[in-house]
Amino acid sequence: MPKGGSNSCSDLTRRVIENSSADVLSSQNVSQQDNEIVKNITLSGEKARPADNTCQPTIEDYKSLLDLTISRVACFGFEPQINLNQPAEKLVDLLWQQKSFCLIANESFARAYGFNDSSDIFGKPFYEVVPPSLEYVEMAKAWADNGYFIADYHLEKQNSDGESITILTSLYSVREGNNLKRLWLVNRDISEHIHAIDLLQKAEEHYRTLVERPGLVLVRSNPDGGYQYISPHVADIVGYPPNVFHEDPEFFQRLIHPDDITKHDAIIRARRAKSHKTVEAEYRVKHRDGTYHWIYERQTPKISDSGEIEYYDSIAFDIQEKKHLELELMRAQRMETIGTLAAGIAHDFNNHLTAVLGQIRMVIEELGSEHPSFEKLAAAENAALCCAEMTHQLTSLEKNRDVQLKVRNLNQLIQQTLSLLRHVLPTTITITSEGLAQDCPVNCNAAQIQQVLMNLAVNSRDAMKDRGEIKISLAPYTIKADQKSKDFSSAPAGQYYQVTVRDSGPGIPPSHIPHLFEPFFTTKRDGSSSGLGLSVVYSIIKAHGGYITVLNGTGAAISFILPAAKDSDQQTDENGNTGNTSGTEMVLVADDDEMVLSMVTTALGLKGYRVLKASDGEQALRLFRKHRKNVRLALIDQTMPGFTGREIIAAINEFRPDLPVILTSGYHKDEFEGDLARGETVTFLPKPYMLPDLLALIRKLIDKQATRQK
């Protein structure tokens, strides 16, 4: 380097501030002493310039450099100099009060502060260029408190259009002893920069909300099997954080269910073959807790302009609930099919039960209650009635019909259920009962209450792993008007009967109790349970006006209460059929089931009636037309060859619209609502029916019609 030259060309900017050799270019407002300073600085610069003119900056070089920078730069001198040994607040005031002048400024600074160009700002005092507004005063305080130097200070202000802007500002002091000689002010409008950062942050946040959405996993993988990116929510699905898969790319494949490896291999094969196709698969993955979850994955290739595979993007999410709902839909469809089949079977079954019940009743009446076989026959009749109610329950479920409630002895229902449970549950489970010595009349549907008890017992069986004890207890339960029940807090005052099913199993975890009666809630991860058992139990009890709860104690105990039947509700199953059921009138009986037809005609004959017997619709119409003046009642089955019951009723109405007709069928009453609504002369009697009920109804309808004709 030449003698007297600078160390390097790169220190030009530093020398602008520290050497101050280019502080003043020209100004009419600068004092004579200042002009001398400028002159001396200029001359010293000229003298220092080497003969070979190498890398020695001139005053014009400094000014050009300031004009080239993107920052706004200005330097102010103070005369006299400001003594820095005084309070900060005083120093701040002196910046605007002390005599000052602008020594140098670049074009961008001049325009930013309202001047046409840099020549207009030279010599201007500090207070005239920089207004003593609040934001600048706060900046000056920061400068004084920070040792007379601040860098990258964010100054918030408003521009001429009233918009908020941010100015990144630095204040550098040139001192002479403890006096402030000059003050350099450097700033830059970074509003757009901050706005861009804000947009970038929002875009990143938006990106993260898409990529890191709970339950959603995004994976970017290489064709060779390594991973570029795995979103953090992979831990929600499989229980392992992303770094586990980055460290061992084949670890995920070891989590695939053995039966689903082939399904997942389709994705791996496509990656290794660098396939351009999108591939998707559903498979089970083993969670860290040992359970399996169904996963859906869709893999799409990223293809470069040259046709090469850059990477593969996969989206995956948990479809366990979807699979569960699909399974429930399949079960529901299967149940619908079974229900449709059950309806057809129920029709034939009800016909057979009608014949069985009728024959048993005729034998009972013939032998009398004192006969040694009476109790056996009564038991057989009761068993047939239970079958009839079960059949009715099946057809009610198949069509989702309202269930009829009758006054039943809850004690007897529990005893019947216990007998059934002893055949259903394994012999390693002991079933006991308590408090079943008294009659407990409730208004209920017997089949549904038995279903409740069966569901609770089966749950206990599963909880005890097929070994233990189940106890079913029954007791009166009273809620007084002036107090709330501890276990059934929402139940109103009244008389109830409480049924409790308790087992000797491990009990119910407290965390499960709030969800116990929710639909689809289950603790069985293998899909063996629909999670509907206790939900159905809850619905049945609520439909009966009852309340259900979980009791504390050893094992699991679920208890429910049912309102006790009022005296006005209680009636016998015979419906008062103890009066005279004999007669001599002519009755038309039409049924295509030979056993039912034989039983009914025999029973009517024994009671003194004259019977016209028809095994199909055509024969029924012929007999009616021949004896229409003498027939006093018609008992017609709905489904017969030739003509249906509806068609026969229509033909009867042409000649005898006043004739009482009993329409009977093994199908549900809902199938014939339209026919029954046509008039008071048609009465529906579902099969299977009890013979005393049929005889009583026939007598009642004939007598009612005779009374009208008088």
Q: Are residues 662 and 563 both part of a single domain?
A: no
CATH number at residue 145: 3.30.450.20
Q: Are residues 116 and 87 both part of a single domain?
A: yes
For residue 473, tell me if it sits in a domain: yes
Q: Are residues 672 and 598 both part of a single domain?
A: yes
Burial status of residue 702 (CB atoms within 10 A of its CB: 0-12, 13-18, 19 or more) = middle
Q: Are residues 268 and 144 both part of a single domain?
A: no
Q: Are residues 218 and 142 both part of a single domain?
A: no
For residue 560, tell me if it sits in a domain: yes
pLDDT digits (tens, 9 = 90+) for 430-442: 988 888 667 889 9
Q: Are residues 560 and 590 both part of a single domain?
A: no
Kindly report the number of other CB atoms within 10 A of residue 144's CB atom: 21
pLDDT, residue 601, reads: 93
pLDDT, residue 23, reads: 39
Which DSSP symbol is given to 564?
B
For residue 653, tell me if it sits in a domain: yes
Q: Are residues 280 and 428 both part of a single domain?
A: no
pLDDT, residue 671, reads: 61
Domain of 413, in residue numbers:
406-571
pTM > 0.95: no
For residue 343, tell me if it sits in a domain: no
Task: Identify which of 62, 36, 37 has the alpha carbon closest to the alpha carbon of residue 181.
Answer: 37
Can you state the percent helix, strand and coil of the chain, rounding each to 5?
45, 25, 35
One-character DSSP codes across 364-430: HHHH-TTSTTHHHHHHHHHHHHHHHHHHHHHHHHHHTPPPP-EEEEHHHHHHHHHHHHHHHS-TTEE
Domain boundary among 253, 285, 318: 318
Q: Are residues 514 and 591 both part of a single domain?
A: no
Report strand pairing: 494-503 vs 547-551.
unpaired
Q: Are residues 14 and 143 both part of a single domain?
A: yes
**Mean pLDDT, range 563-578, rounded to an integer:** 58
**Percentage of the chain with pLDDT > 90?**
37
**Mean pLDDT, range 403-427, rounded to an integer:** 83
Task: Identify which of 311, 305, 303, 310 has the alpha carbon closest to the alpha carbon of residue 230.
Answer: 311
Residue 530: pLDDT band with limits 50, 70, 90: very low
For residue 253, tell me if it sits in a domain: yes
Determine the longest span between alpha carbons in the chain, in angstroms: 153
For residue 694, tell me if it sits in a domain: yes
Least confident of 5-9, 192-196, 265-269, 469-473: 5-9
CATH number at residue 683: 3.40.50.2300
pLDDT, residue 613, reads: 94
pLDDT digits (tens, 9 = 90+) for 458-472: 888 888 887 899 999
pLDDT, residue 279, reads: 94
Q: Are residues 68 and 19 both part of a single domain?
A: yes
For residue 332, tell me if it sits in a domain: no
CATH number at residue 474: 3.30.565.10
pLDDT, residue 84, reads: 92
- Asked whether the predicted pLDDT for residue 391 surpasses 80, the reply is no
For 199, phi and psi rounded to 5 degrees? -65, -40
Which DSSP symbol is given to 452?
H
Which DSSP symbol is given to 85?
S
Q: Are residues 269 and 221 both part of a single domain?
A: yes
For residue 285, tell me if it sits in a domain: yes
Strands (E), 578-692: 586-590, 610-614, 631-637, 661-665, 682-686
Domain count for the chain: 4
Spatial separation of the C-alpha atoms in residues 478 and 489, rounded to whole Å: 13
Domain boundary among 266, 290, 318: 318
**Mean pLDDT, range 389-407, rounded to an integer:** 65
pLDDT digits (tens, 9 = 90+) for 16-35: 444 443 333 333 333 344 33
Domain boundary among 158, 190, 222: 190
pLDDT digits (tens, 9 = 90+) for 496-513: 999 999 998 888 877 777
Q: Are residues 492 and 536 both part of a single domain?
A: yes
- For 537, the 3-state DSSP assignment is helix
Residue 48: pLDDT band with limits 50, 70, 90: very low
